Chains A and B, each alone.
Chain A
Amino acid sequence: MSGRGGAILSRVYLGAVFLFVFAPIMASFVFSFNSDRFPSIPLGSFTLHWYQKAFSDPDVWDAFRTSLKVAGSVALLSTAIGFCTAYTDFRFGFRFKPAYLALALLPPTIPLVIMGLAMLAWLSNVGLSGTVTAVIISHTVLATPFAMAVIRLRLSQMDPALEAAAWNLGASEWGAMRHVILPFCGPAIISALCLTAAVSFDEFAVAWFVSGLNKTVPVMILEILQGNVDPQINAIGTVVFLTSMTLVVLAQVMVMTRSRENPAKEKTE
């Protein structure tokens, strides 16, 4: 495990693991421009046919519109709720706090099929099943923990005395929130918006159960998949990949750049 041989070996192994993780993403990208119906090697010729075919279908546009509507609403709702929760955890101590945090962070550990069934049963009971609202509600439950985690991480970089200093200088609690806490959390809030939008934009299982006829993009992909091999999926999938990758990269960059800055500089803002 030591010496040059070991170092090279461990790099090769790392490369293999990354290749495995990214192979399906790259494959889908390559296949989307490939003329063969059943892609294999050697590859066929370059074509935009699958993109043209997919995006001349009005159903695909409908699905993208629904997905955007859902992802946008989910991002706003879950980031707002996630911020409240992160701030509560940062600022207040109270009885039952472990239970409070468990409630906030638990949803992603429940299998999506089970969440789907539970949401379907409950939302049909209250007459919401099959609506876009149903998808927004369910995705907000799933996405809020991610928003909370991102914002909580940012708050843990803040000196708790900062808020108290604002009060001593005459700011009300609301004033300190507006002028100290919110600006400090700014990048994390943008990061949470991107991340929760990505979570919603990719979620297919719960959406499949509750969306009815208001299909989102992943639900549409799921239903195409149940038919035959259809290279259109690669074209739609590549667009989906690029969208969610952009969102996740943005989310990470927002958190990274600020945390590397000089903390003294931020305090003078």
Chain B
Amino acid sequence: MPRRRLIYAMTWRLPIIIWQAAFFLVPLGFMVVMTFWAVKNYRMEPDFVLQNWDKMFSKGYFWDAYWLTLGRATLAAVIASLVAFPASYALAFKVSPAARRWAIFFLIIPFFTSYLVRAYAWQVILAEQGVINAGLSYLGLGPFTMLNSGIGAMVGYLTLTLPLVVILQTFSLASVDRNLIEAAWNLGCSRFRTIFRVIIPSAKVGLILGAVFCFILSFGDFVSPYYLGGSKPPTLSILIIDTTKSGQQWPRAAVVAVTMIATLMVVAFTAVSAAYRKPKQ
């Protein structure tokens, strides 16, 4: 490549490499290195010790948090996928393309608007003397405890992820070949059976991606478990915050973080390879 063309190409190629290397890769790499550092007299020192890993992995509360987080994120992915599916199905097949565009337009908005304030609003709605319980009391029901429980946390996870899951599912359902569906009907396959035998297998990639994104977001979220789930028992994200904010135990928080990233990578890789696997003939 002539020199001038090389300069042109590199002008556009290099900015992201430099920026993400300096402020994304290096910080994450540094965090991994930090898990081997020692903390002496409340100060971190460069070292190569396994004591942070040892300390965290031998603690019962770490594994409690791990399984709780994994379980809740899996449950959130399942519930979000199931709740979203009829809505996505309706958007893909039952409304006009213009209506679908508007629906997507409106679903994108909450994804970028303060999740924190929305969680606070749920706190007020779900509270013991909140809107829902007040409404139920007119019917002579309740009060039900929803806040500071798994239910509260789940409402938060769905608030965070449902719009995204509906968007991803709708896109994949809308791109299923209509001829395929009509062929199934013409061959006498019932509407209901067509959904499971034709539509879902054809839209597999988007459906799995939706679930995976829901899992990733819920797994790392701290707002829902903290403000709606009552923070006890802690999830991994709360564990990171408590460990970081309470002093110089950053290396131990880093151990939790690295474990989380490893878990997410395994889940994402497994799911994506399942999504793109060819069905057996």
Once the chains are docked, how many angstroms separate the CA of A107 from the CA of B240? 19
- Complex contact A38–B216 (CB within 8 A): no
In the complex, which range does the number of interface residues on chain A fall in? 35 or more
With contacts A2-B191, A240-B114 taken as known, whether A87 is within 8 angstroms of B12 at the C-beta atoms is: yes
Which residues of the other chain, B, contact A153 by a CB distance below 8 angstroms?
none
Residue of A nearest to B254 (CB): A117
- Complex contact A141–B241 (CB within 8 A): no
- Complex contact B83–A121 (CB within 8 A): no
- Complex contact A10–B257 (CB within 8 A): no
With contacts A31-B121, A88-B12, A110-B28 taken as known, whether A13 is within 8 angstroms of B87 at the C-beta atoms is: yes
- Complex contact B90–A10 (CB within 8 A): yes
B274 at the interface (CB under 8 A from A): no
Residues in A23-56 with C-beta less than 8 Å from chain B: 23-25, 27-28, 31, 38-41
Max chain A Cβ within 10 angstroms of own Cβ: one of B14, B23, B84, B240: B23
- Complex contact A173–B5 (CB within 8 A): yes
- Complex contact B261–A120 (CB within 8 A): no
- Complex contact A31–B261 (CB within 8 A): no
A127 at the interface (CB under 8 A from B): no
Residue of B nearest to A119 (CB): B27
A163 at the interface (CB under 8 A from B): no
Residue-wise, chain B 221-243 has the 8 Å CB interface mask toward A (1 for contact) of 11000010000000001001100
Residues in A104-131 with C-beta less than 8 Å from chain B: 104, 106-107, 109-115, 117-123, 125
Q: How many residues of B contact A (CB 8 A)?
A: 84
Closest CB in chain A relative to B118 CB, distance in Å: 4
Which residues of the other chain, B, contact A198 by a CB distance below 8 angstroms?
112-113
> A interface, by DSSP: helix, strand, loop or mixed?
helix
The 8 closest A-B CB pairs, nearest first, are A111-B220, A237-B117, A24-B121, A122-B27, A10-B90, A24-B118, A118-B27, A118-B31
What 18 additional pairs, Cβ within 8 angstroms, besides A13-B86, A25-B118, A244-B112?
Answer: A20-B158, A22-B110, A27-B124, A31-B121, A38-B130, A40-B129, A84-B14, A92-B12, A92-B13, A103-B25, A113-B220, A121-B31, A202-B112, A202-B113, A202-B115, A229-B124, A248-B108, A256-B105
* B interface residues (Cβ-Cβ under 8 A, vs A): 5, 8-9, 11-17, 19-21, 23-28, 30-31, 34, 83-84, 86-87, 89-91, 94-95, 103, 105-110, 112-125, 127, 129-131, 134-135, 158-159, 162-163, 166, 191-192, 195, 216, 219-222, 227, 237, 240-241, 244, 250, 253-254, 257, 260-261, 264, 268
